[in-house]
Amino acid sequence: MRIPAIPPEELDEEQKPLYEDMSTEMKSYFSGFIKKRKDGALLGPWAPALQYPRYGKPWWDYIKAIADKPVLPKTSREVAILVTGARFKAGYELYSHTIIGEKSELARSKIATIAAGQRPIDLTFEEAAAYDVAASLAAGGRLPQATWEMAVSAFGDEGAAELVFLVAGYHQVSAILNGFDVSIPGDGS
């Protein structure tokens, strides 16, 4: 990683409340994978966010907003996040959302296929809509009207909007992970 993870006792006054908020939120949605070292230092995208709280706090507020009371089904959310992580080759994102996807009852075969950069043949209609929106946005350019209409048909207007904001948020996560060369934690974390 390009920046060191910060143990809690070394946090400054601007970093401490952000650390506490992140730690509290992680206990619910962001659970089941390694997020902290044994000394309590945050890993993943949270480490750079803490190092640079001027940017990290608004980023974290955005991530919380798209995770709070989601309209999208859990498996569809995870499909979109995994597609984004795979397209950007963001290792920590794939690591963590493989675990979250399994907990959300997304089939392991689907997770493996998406992580390999492919579209599973057995996606539900909702999962397929999430996949197609995420893949289109990751490829760049304007989202095709037919893909937008598929998302609206699957999730309604609010859900389709949530999907776009979700994918945009995980584009940010991928860029943070890749930009700071965040690795997947090992057994010694």
Compute the distance between CA of residue 135 and CA of residue 118 in angstroms, rounded to an integer.
10
Compute the distance between CA of residue 85 and CA of residue 116 in angstroms, rounded to an integer.
10
Name the domain boundary from 47, 67, 87: 67
> Domain of 29?
8-67
Task: Find, among 147, 108, 144, the residue nearest to 131 by Cα.
Answer: 147
In a domain, 91, yes or no: yes
Collapse the DSSP code of 123 into the 3-class scheme (helix H, G, I; strand E, B; otherwise coil) and give the result.
coil
Model pLDDT, residue 27: 80
Compute the distance between CA of residue 62 and CA of residue 44 in angstroms, rounded to an integer.
16
Task: Judge if 58 and 85 occupy the same domain.
Answer: no
Model-wide pTM > 0.85: yes
Compute the distance between CA of residue 57 and CA of residue 17 in angstroms, rounded to an integer.
10
In a domain, 118, yes or no: yes
Task: Judge if 107 and 81 occupy the same domain.
Answer: yes
Tell me the average confidence (pLDDT) per consecutive run of 10 residues in the chain, 189 residues long.
93 96 83 90 96 96 91 97 97 95 96 98 98 97 98 98 97 97 74
In a domain, 117, yes or no: yes
Model pLDDT, residue 187: 44
Task: Judge if 91 and 169 occupy the same domain.
Answer: yes
In a domain, 109, yes or no: yes
